[in-house]
Structure 1
Amino acid sequence: MKRLGVTPGPFLALAAAWLATRALMLWLLAHSAAPLLGGGSVTREVSRLYFHWYGVLSNGAFPTQDTMWQYPPGAGPVLLAPGALPGLDYLQAFVTLTLVTDALITALLTAVGRRPGRSLMGAALWTGGVPLLLHIPLARYDVQVTALAVLCLLTLGRSPRLGGVFGALGALVKVWPALALLGTPRGRATRTAWAWSVGAGCAALALLAVLFSDPLSFLGEQSGRGVQIESLGGTLLNLARHAGWPGRVRYQYGATELVGPGVRTVAGVSLALTAAAFALLVLWRCKARRWNPATPYDTALAAVLLFTVTSRVISPQYLVWLLGLAAVCLTSRHTSQRPVAVLVLAATALSSLVFPVFYGEVTGGGWAGGLLALARVVLLAVAAVWSFVRLWHSTGPAPGPAVPTSAAGTASAMLRQLRNREPVPAVFRDDC
């Protein structure tokens, strides 16, 4: 590293932090039966539900008439993968693969952060942010999905084709990584990335349709979902119980949802807000005039924040997505999302308090749990709005040229610009 002009100190510190925090997460996973850690509910989803689906998928079919199966067909290979590790039970193999994927994300962010004009803050945010969710990331497949989105964003600038392929694969696993392609520069970069994404997605879907029956069975179950108690609408309804709202909590569709008068209306409002968020992103795309190397990263974070906040479901593992995207943003010194990343970290810490630590208070309608959940969704909502506003301003018309006060001042400004300059791939220079 010294030959490259980089001191090994930061890399050793990141490696030590990753090893220490992941060891702590494994310890929490081993003790997840404790009441404050969810009473075993976190690991039960893998050892029972995922393992059940593994058995169905092993027989060449996707789950049908299963209200819990709400995932695109690309989730199938992810859930089958633990079976390829010999000598481990399903939970052990799943956690092992999740840790390997986590290490891959950290290595990618570190490698990108080493480049001239880049930053290791992204790798630091990912390393320190994921453990804020306690042991939950190890027992959900959202780390694997996030890895595909990170790969998509980090390869877009150098190879729009490869970026498009990773985006398509991520979308087949959990839909939202398709949003990583929204910020590609206009012109050839967008046409290439989106064309390869569509082609790769169709090819992968066709292959899954040949290997498994009923690949689109998830669509019927997804449409039946209600309002999860941790969503924005669910949090407000939960607090309304103190004002006399007669609704109640019910476990259905793989989540704790609220049922009662007005729930369908709240679900409809959530869908309308999601449509409005999509319209805002389309408007931004039409109005944007300036692109820099961080624009695709910033766009992905803003888009996923908007879609997360307006969703009928905001499970704690969704914060893994936001941490990964915020980390990619922080690898670039051009990003406009630094303060948003701080809000994402704060919301992540609150998420682990909402579930699993005080989840009994939340579902029971207690004030403490309700206010914690409210603080979490408010932070996410503020982060979403602020992220979009900062994205809009960073890509708007260029400001007018500043009038130099002196030759010395102009030379000093030019030196600062050159010192902080991040190499700009040709794709950004040609299409802006």
Structure 2
Amino acid sequence: METKGAGRSPLWLLAAWAATRAVLLLFVFRVYVFPGPDVTTDVSVIYRGWYEVLRQGTFPLDDVTWQYPPAAALAILSPAALPFLSYAHAFFTLVCLCDAMVLALLAYAGARPGRSPRGAWVWVAGVPLLGPTVYARYDLMVTAVAVAALLAGARHPRVLGALAAVGALVKVWPALLLAGAARRRAWGAAAATGAGVGLLFALSMPGAFAFLTFQRERGTEVESLGALVFHVARHFGWRGEVLLNYGSIEFLGPWVNVVSTAALALTAAAFGWLLLWRLRARELTGAVLADAALTAVLLFTVTSRVLSPQYLVWLVGLAAVCLTHRASRMTGPALMITGASFLTVLEFPLGFAHVVLSDGYGITLLVLRNGLLVAATLTAAHHLWHTTVPPRPATPLPPGRGARVVSAGGS
């Protein structure tokens, strides 16, 4: 009976993936219109505009919305691999192929001895909960690189390091995959790959690192954790504005710089905690490598002044890798991330007008979504610490002290 069930499982997994991804493709191809703002315009207008500039051998230096590391150019240029399709259709097709690759990697890893198919099911279920936005951004491509890096990391640390570096040069956050790397070879490979690829871009394309200066005047994005301060403050007379700024809808006005600075301070504190954990952690196994990566990215995400909907696909992918390990303690955080993914599609694009207006419904969605992410972060950090950091040895009592205490208690 167990063998028969195991034989059917991959077929059910593939069928569920195919059905849910067909629905996503129908939405992004505009066969059916998903309610709310059109999420595909980022690809058909913004990405396509960048594509035309990048084809000329330079970065979009006159566009402050270009806020990405140099290797992001590879994702934007990738539709050129399918010249028989329009730019947008080629992009959606390539994202779907990356999605399929992640499923194949997770299914393969989950079938190995001591592993679990739960991770593949988290991926199949979690991605479509984000709605068509997940196919209309390049974040799923980056997540595919991160998943491959973590799954290879336990046996091939150099592959982990190289892929983490490439991912970081596409969208920064994959550098956090190295948080739980036990071997120096991973860090060495990351440094060599990052330096080599970064230098190649710097020498071949002007403005490779101009993105570092394009975010100085950013406000607090309306979906972030810190934005809840201003959503509530608007009901008590706060006189700020909600504007399209640097490619996202942000709060601008009094005290925004204070909240943005507080967010940066929280991020610094989170990284300080990660460093302390890394110094004290023991037995950094393959499961811990994945658990640490998820915890680090959760910390980065919830403390950021920007928390765009597509960021959730990072967390879904890392949670899926965690749950391919039976030893992982991230089941709770994975379930919270899945719930947060569903709440994310409710707030964007379905309820985004309510979020922008800071009405009761919009605030409720953000409180629930961000609350789940905070809970997932704290739970993940708690499990990571208590499963890898040995307790401090108890301070021995002075000679004779124990006997006197017992004697006093006996009387």
- TM-score range relative to shorter protein: over 0.9
Question: Does the 8 Å CA contact 1:293/1:334 hold for their aligned counterparts?
Answer: no
Question: Does the 8 Å CA contact 1:32/1:38 hold for their aligned counterparts?
Answer: no
Aligned AA (1:96):
T
Query: Which position in structure 2 is the counterpart of 1:38?
Result: 36
Secondary structure of 2:6's aligned partner: coil
Q: 2:315 aligns with which of 313, 322, 326?
A: 322
Deviations 1:193-237 (A, max 9, x none): 000100011111122223311101111112332100000111221
Q: 2:168 aligns with which of 160, 166, 171?
A: 171
Matches of residues 97-246 of structure 1 in structure 2 within 5 Å? Answer: 97-185=94-182, 189=183, 191-246=184-239
Q: 1:366 to 1:6 in 2, by over 3 A?
A: closer
1:51 aligned to 2:44?
A: no
Matches of residues 56-71 of structure 1 in structure 2 within 5 Å? Answer: 56-71=53-68
Q: 1:390 to 1:50 in 2, by over 3 A?
A: same
Q: CA deviation at 1:33?
A: 8.2
Q: Work out the CA distance in 1 between the residues paired with 2:14 and 2:233.
A: 46
Q: CA deviation at 1:106?
A: 0.3
Q: Work out the CA distance in 2 between the residues paired with 1:72 and 1:25.
A: 28
Question: Does the 8 Å CA contact 1:290/1:398 hold for their aligned counterparts?
Answer: no
Q: Work out the CA distance in 1 between the residues paired with 2:391 and 2:63.
A: 52
Unaligned 5+ residue runs, structure 2?
A: 394-411
Q: 1:291 aligns with which of 284, 287, 294?
A: 284
Q: Work out the CA distance in 2 between the residues paired with 1:240 and 1:377.
A: 17
Question: Does the 8 Å CA contact 2:298/2:373 hold for their aligned counterparts?
Answer: yes
Aligned AA (1:16):
A
Secondary structure of 1:148's aligned partner: helix
Percent of aligned positions with the same letter in both sequences?
A: 46
1:311 aligned to 2:304?
A: yes
Length-normalised TM-score, structure 1: 0.88
Q: CA deviation at 1:83?
A: 1.3
Query: Which position in structure 2 is the counterpart of 1:91?
Result: 88
Length-normalised TM-score, structure 2: 0.92
Query: Which position in structure 1 is the counterpart of 2:25?
Result: 26
Secondary structure of 1:313's aligned partner: coil
RMSD, aligned α-carbons: 1.8
Q: Work out the CA distance in 1 between the residues paired with 2:215 and 2:309.
A: 18
Q: CA deviation at 1:8?
A: 2.3
Question: Does the 8 Å CA contact 1:361/1:369 hold for their aligned counterparts?
Answer: yes
Q: CA deviation at 1:32?
A: 8.3
Question: Does the 8 Å CA contact 2:28/2:92 hold for their aligned counterparts?
Answer: no
Q: Work out the CA distance in 1 between the residues paired with 2:7 and 2:24.
A: 26
Aligned AA (2:89):
Q
Query: Which position in structure 1 is the counterpart of 2:273?
Result: 280
Deviations 1:233-286 (A, max 9, x none): 112211221122122210010100011111000000000000000000001011
Q: Work out the CA distance in 2 between the residues paired with 1:397 and 1:128.
A: 35
1:7 aligned to 2:15?
A: no
Q: 1:248 aligns with which of 241, 244, 253?
A: 241
